[in-house]
Amino acid sequence: MTTELLIVACACVTVVAFLYSSVGHAGASGYIAAMTLLGFAPAQIKPTALVLNILVASLGALQFWRAGHFSWRLFWPFAVLSVPCAFLGGYLNLPLPVFKIVVGLVLLYSAVRFFIDPRDVTELRTPPLPASLGSGAALGLLSGLTGVGGGIFLTPLVLLMGWARIKTAAAVSAMFILANSVAGLSGNISATRQFPTFAISLAACALMGGLAGSWLGSRRFSPVIIKRMLSVVLTIAGLKLILG
């Protein structure tokens, strides 16, 4: 890898980490898009994105938890089956062109909804346990297969169903991403026995961007700003899934 390419990749990672961490996400879809455009090898992209995800999600989970937004009651039903499913998804390498297009369109729809109506949830509902367990398992498998942490799918689901307010959804998504990314990376390394060394340089940039974004998102940004930024994040992720 040339020095110039590494510098551009570091700049992209910093921006993505800042943007995504401000809404409780870790940036995997953004990292994957950037590395794909820069010509990184496919075998290097998935584990690198998961490592960056783990670092940024750790910062996001800590910042939103310290700010008092995390809900264990909402988190655990989604997470309990998602972790083993994320490990399985990380171990497998399956072609998912049609499914990824469908999911991408759902994310774009959510992005438009959140941009048009950025207000916070006013009337909360309790998610049924079977729905939480089932969707958690499905999102965990999808996160492992695609190399993302799953929060990009969990947040719109929680908000559209009225199961949490914006900052609580961000806090739960950050922890969900962390758990699934660790499981997905473990599955990927178990299958490939490889890890790209250049990820260390990108990790430092992800930490800087993630620290700034998660602090602002958890303590300074209003719910309206977060929802508007979330619409941008979902647009990037949706286009990435559709365009490959």
Question: Which residues of the chain have a pLDDT value below 50?
Answer: none
pTM: 0.86
**What gap in Å lies between CA 89 and CA 183, rounded to an integer?**
9
State the DSSP H helix or E strand holding residue 40, giving kind and residue range, or none if neither.
Answer: none
What integer pLDDT is reported at residue 95 of this predicted model? Answer: 65
What integer pLDDT is reported at residue 94 of this predicted model? Answer: 67
What integer pLDDT is reported at residue 217 of this predicted model? Answer: 92
- The residues, ordered by sequence, that sit 6+ positions from 107 with a Cβ below 8 Å of its Cβ are 152, 153, 156, 234, 235, 237, 238, 241
What integer pLDDT is reported at residue 62 of this predicted model? Answer: 94
Grouping H, G, I as helix, E, B as strand and the rest as coil, residue 205 is helix
In this structure, what token pair is assigned to residue 25? 């996400």
CA 85 and chain centroid, separation: 16
- Per the CB < 8 A criterion, the answer to whether 25 and 218 are in contact is no
What integer pLDDT is reported at residue 202 of this predicted model? Answer: 93
